[in-house]
């Protein structure tokens, strides 16, 4: 029979990895149970789910893979369908029809007879996009299948996405020989959105261009790489079946993703967002604890490639105007939308007002964090004259200007700007989160000097220390510029004026002090105290933490975990604690939020070190260091120093590795 599929899977490794995933194993078991009890079932698949491979695996489970599966194409005839569903074949046993949405119109009576007369148990694998648009009660085999399902005469199974861990296992298995670090593998898994064939396409793209694979989930309008044609063409076939309005919404949302869910529903409407999620064009997840929605940059690139979903220039202009209005009204829009709006302000040469100045400063912060100091500088130069009369805005401008110069490698320019900033009173406001962040960034910039400049030590002694006693030593010692004075650090902890970020930095310094003095008991006690404080911040007090406090919570958790590992204090519990704590503290998914990206690499490295895989773990720490927020260089350098000390120490994992050889 020409329509019977006798070909072998295109990649046995891919098939094996997919079919042993619990999600697919569970779905296979349900479908086979229906068939073996004489019931037919419609199996709904979407683009990238791997319907053909799944059908092959079902046929193999039935015991006669070459006879029990019909692969329907546009050339399949009604005679072939009739022969395949004949109950005389296979002793009336179960069989699989893959691509049932392509059955020819002439096969309607044949399918009707199989469903209602002979009742041969058949699994009909159909395209979900086609099924969604078919008119129930109409003509054709697909309408017949849809009607029978709605009447309860057919069971239904919808293939689900692979979970995040299953997608990562698939990508890792397929990319076994590729020079990709763990963060790149996680990015590919996140981009696949749980679609097995898309995962395979992305790995093929990575094989051709491993240097293009980012270490964090990219944003369509900011830093999305050029995906291969194979990945984009995989997604394109579904677009002709979608309404133009849906594609326009997907393109627009993709250009400003991720967007807080509440803002997205207000901007696009509940129905539109629900439809995008239902079609798997968009997906929900959390960004620093906030429910958000995003259209994958893969979809945005594929829609562009297919040249569909285009709106008029006037319609796009009205949409952007609504977005800016929502931003001015106080709706959270996320960093990508902020960057996009800021670009338009500059390109259109619009007049600046306080609201737009804040927008440009927010965009500059995001661009620095994303590693684009050049565009951040453009934003900062645009607002330079507008911020001088507002101390709070000027403080943020100073911070981002210094950060942009540091990230761009201009350390001398950063130091010059710091010295100028000392003369402006706002830099000494110890309770302002921006001021605290600025102190640490400035200290990091000055740490490369042989000794700290007198004007900086005078500023810390005369301005900062009177506000928070001990802060001067803490800030300088954090980047290794001076030796830690534990009494000064404890003075910070005792000060009611110390902000949460300063307290966390002090707690980390105390833990480091106990480690240097081989005081394992003191270290364990100080670590427990710090973990309890973070838990109080994020759960008991339930306050909204600023970015830098989040960063310090993250740094304390993984830095102290490293200290405990070096000291040999319950490493397994320490690793588990950091996973659970950071999941609560940062509240971000694996592909959104640099804190979780870094933590993923860190925790993976810990596991490998505990197993004695020292050389392999080194790759994880390179990935971890690369993911540190560039706007917070003090934290990044402190972490790298901890990693170096860890790798030079006589920690238990080195002895474990030696004993295994």
Q: What share of the chain is helix, strand, coil (3-state, %, to 5)?
A: 65, 5, 30
pLDDT attached to residue 359: 92
pLDDT tens digits, one per residue of 286-326: 666 678 888 988 898 888 888 888 888 899 889 998 998 99
591 contacts 184 by C-beta, under 8 angstroms: no
CA–CA distances in Å: residue 38 to residues 94, 401, 557: 8, 70, 56
Phi then psi dihedrals of residue 195, to 5 deg: -100, 115
pLDDT tens digits, one per residue of 151-172: 889 999 999 989 887 888 899 8
259 contacts 253 by C-beta, under 8 angstroms: yes
Residue that is written with structure tokens 């392999």 in the block:
616
pLDDT attached to residue 203: 93
Q: Is the fold of 12-158 the same as that of 237-340? A: no
Domain boundaries, the chain: 12-158, 164-217, 237-340, 429-654
Higher pLDDT, 534 or 89: 89
Phi then psi dihedrals of residue 260, to 5 deg: -50, 135
pLDDT at residue 642 greater than cutoff 50: no
18-22, 203-207, 577-581: the lowest-pLDDT one: 577-581
CA–CA distances in Å: residue 118 to residues 5, 272, 472: 23, 42, 85
**Buried/exposed code over 100-113 (b: 16+ C-beta within 10 A; e: otherwise):** bbbbbeebbebbee
pLDDT attached to residue 600: 57
549 contacts 499 by C-beta, under 8 angstroms: yes
| Strand 282-287 versus strand 290-295 pairing type | antiparallel
- For 12-158, which CATH superfamily applies? P-loop containing nucleotide triphosphate hydrolases (3.40.50.300)
Higher pLDDT, 31 or 606: 31
Question: Per mean pLDDT, which of 27-36, 201-210, 225-234, 509-518 is the most reliable?
Answer: 27-36
Helix (H) or strand (E) holding 349: none
Average pLDDT score, the chain = 80
Higher pLDDT, 627 or 62: 62
pLDDT attached to residue 572: 56
Give CA 37 to chain center in angstroms: 42
The three-point CA angle 393-395-400 to 5° equals 95
Q: Is 50 exposed, middle or buried (0-12, 13-18, 19+ CB in 10 A)?
A: buried
pLDDT attached to residue 653: 37
pLDDT at residue 637 greater than cutoff 70: no
pLDDT at residue 577 greater than cutoff 80: no
Higher pLDDT, 101 or 601: 101
pLDDT at residue 192 greater than cutoff 60: yes
Region 211-215: mean pLDDT is: 82
Helix (H) or strand (E) holding 490: helix 486-494
pLDDT at residue 106 greater than cutoff 90: yes
pLDDT attached to residue 350: 86
pLDDT at residue 186 greater than cutoff 50: yes
pLDDT at residue 450 greater than cutoff 80: no
pLDDT at residue 50 greater than cutoff 80: yes
566 contacts 515 by C-beta, under 8 angstroms: yes
3-state secondary structure of 63: coil
395 contacts 435 by C-beta, under 8 angstroms: yes
pLDDT tens digits, one per residue of 460-486: 888 888 889 999 888 888 766 678 899
Question: Per mean pLDDT, which of 64-68, 280-284, 491-495, 563-567 is the most reliable?
Answer: 491-495
Q: Distance between CA atoms of 127 and 125, rounded to whole angstroms?
A: 7
Phi then psi dihedrals of residue 224, to 5 deg: -75, 135
139-143, 247-251, 442-446, 637-641: the lowest-pLDDT one: 637-641
Tokens of 218: 């990219």
Residue that is written with structure tokens 């790798």 in the block:
647
71: left (phi over 0), alpha (psi -120 to 50) or beta: beta
Region 530-547: mean pLDDT is: 72
* Number of helices followed by number of strands (H, E) in the chain: 34, 8
The pLDDT confidence band at residue 654, using thresholds 50, 70 and 90, is very low
Higher pLDDT, 181 or 427: 181
Q: Distance between CA atoms of 278 and 262, rounded to whole angstroms?
A: 17
Higher pLDDT, 422 or 293: 293
Name the percent of the chain lying above pLDDT 70: 79
pLDDT at residue 341 greater than cutoff 60: yes
pLDDT attached to residue 425: 55
Q: What is the CA radius of gyration of the chain?
A: 29
**Buried/exposed code over 329-351 (b: 16+ C-beta within 10 A; e: otherwise):** eebebbbbbbbbbbbebeeeeee
Residue that is written with structure tokens 């270490």 in the block:
215
Q: Distance between CA atoms of 592 and 590, rounded to whole angstroms?
A: 6
Higher pLDDT, 335 or 206: 206
pLDDT at residue 640 greater than cutoff 50: no
Tokens of 203: 């790995």
Angle between helices 313-328 and 261-268 (to 10 degrees): 140
Q: Which CATH number fits domain 237-340: 1.10.3120, 1.10.15, 3.10.50, 1.10.10?
A: 1.10.10
pLDDT attached to residue 434: 77
Higher pLDDT, 595 or 440: 440
pLDDT attached to residue 45: 92
CA–CA distances in Å: residue 93 to residues 44, 55, 64, 639: 22, 16, 10, 63
Q: Distance between CA atoms of 163 and 319, rounded to whole angstroms?
A: 34
Tokens of 336: 């990508």
Phi then psi dihedrals of residue 117, to 5 deg: -110, -65
């Amino acid at each position: 029979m020409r329509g019977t599929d006798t070909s072998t899977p295109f990649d046995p490794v891919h098939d094996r990895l997919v079919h042993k995933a619990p999600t697919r194993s569970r779905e296979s078991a349900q479908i086979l149970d229906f068939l073996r009890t004489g019931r037919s079932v419609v199996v709904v698949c979407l683009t990238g789910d791997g319907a053909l491979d799944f059908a092959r695996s079902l046929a193999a489970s039935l015991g006669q893979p070459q006879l029990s599966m019909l692969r329907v194409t546009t050339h399949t005839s009604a005679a072939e369908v009739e022969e395949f569903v004949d109950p005389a074949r296979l002793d009336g046993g179960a069989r699989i029809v893959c691509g049932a949405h392509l059955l020819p119109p002439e096969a309607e009576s044949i399918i009707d007879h199989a469903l209602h007369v002979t009742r041969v148990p058949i699994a009909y694998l159909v395209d979900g996009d086609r099924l969604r648009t078919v008119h129930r009660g109409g003509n054709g085999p697909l309408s017949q299948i849809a009607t029978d399902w709605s009447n309860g005469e057919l069971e239904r199974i919808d293939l689900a996405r692979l979970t995040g861990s299953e997608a990562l296992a698939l990508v890792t298995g397929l990319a076994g020989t590729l020079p990709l670090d763990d963060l790149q593998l996680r990015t590919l898994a996140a981009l696949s959105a749980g679609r097995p064939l898309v995962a395979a396409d992305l790995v093929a793209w990575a094989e051709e261009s491993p240097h293009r694979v980012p270490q964090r989930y990219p944003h369509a309008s900011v830093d999305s790489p050029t995906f291969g044609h194979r990945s984009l063409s995989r997604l394109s076939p579904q677009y002709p079946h979608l309404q133009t309005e849906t594609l326009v919404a997907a393109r627009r949302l993709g250009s400003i993703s991720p967007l807080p869910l509440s803002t997205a529903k207000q901007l696009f409407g509940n129905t539109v967002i629900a439809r995008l999620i239902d079609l798997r064009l968009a997906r929900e997840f959390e960004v620093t604890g906030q429910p958000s929605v995003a259209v994958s940059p893969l979809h945005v690139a594929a829609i562009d490639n297919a040249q569909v979903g285009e709106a008029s220039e006037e319609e796009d202009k009205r949409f952007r105007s609504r977005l800016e209005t929502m931003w001015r009204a106080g709706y959270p829009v996320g960093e990508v939308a902020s960057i996009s709006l800021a670009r338009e302000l500059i390109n259109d040469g619009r007049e600046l007002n306080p609201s737009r100045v804040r927008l440009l400063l927010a965009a500059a912060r995001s661009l620095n964090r994303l590693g684009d100091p050049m565009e951040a500088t453009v934003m900062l130069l645009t607002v330079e004259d507008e911020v001088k009369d507002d101390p709070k805005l000027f403080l943020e401008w100073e911070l981002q200007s210094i950060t942009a110069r540091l990230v761009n490698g201009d350390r001398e320019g950063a130091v010059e700007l710091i010295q100028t900033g000392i003369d402006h009173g706002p830099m000494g406001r110890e309770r302002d989160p921006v001021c605290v962040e600025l102190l640490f960034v400035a200290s990091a910039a000055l740490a490369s000097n042989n000794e700290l400049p007198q004007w900086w030590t005078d500023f810390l002694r005369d301005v900062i220390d009177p506000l928070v006693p001990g802060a001067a030593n803490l800030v300088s010692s954090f980047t290794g510029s001076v030796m830690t004075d534990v009494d000064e650090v404890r003075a910070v902890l005792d000060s009611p004026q110390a902000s949460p970020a300063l307290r966390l930095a002090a707690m980390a310094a105390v833990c480091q002090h106990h480690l240097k003095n081989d005081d394992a008991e003191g270290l364990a006690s100080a670590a427990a105290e710090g973990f309890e404080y973070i838990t109080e911040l994020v759960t008991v007090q339930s306050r909204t933490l600023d970015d830098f406090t989040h960063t310090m919570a993250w740094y304390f958790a993984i830095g102290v975990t490293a200290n405990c590992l070096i000291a040999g204090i319950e490493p397994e519990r320490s690793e588990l604690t950091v996973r659970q704590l950071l999941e609560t503290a940062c509240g971000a998914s694996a592909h959104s939020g640099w804190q979780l990206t870094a933590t993923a690499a860190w925790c993976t490295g810990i596991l490998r070190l505990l197993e004695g895989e020292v050389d392999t773990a080194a790759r994880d720490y390179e990935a971890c260091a690369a993911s540190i927020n560039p706007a917070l260089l003090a934290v990044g350098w402190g972490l790298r120093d901890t990693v170096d000390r860890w790798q030079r120490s006589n920690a238990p994992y080195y002895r474990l590795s030696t004993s295994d050889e």
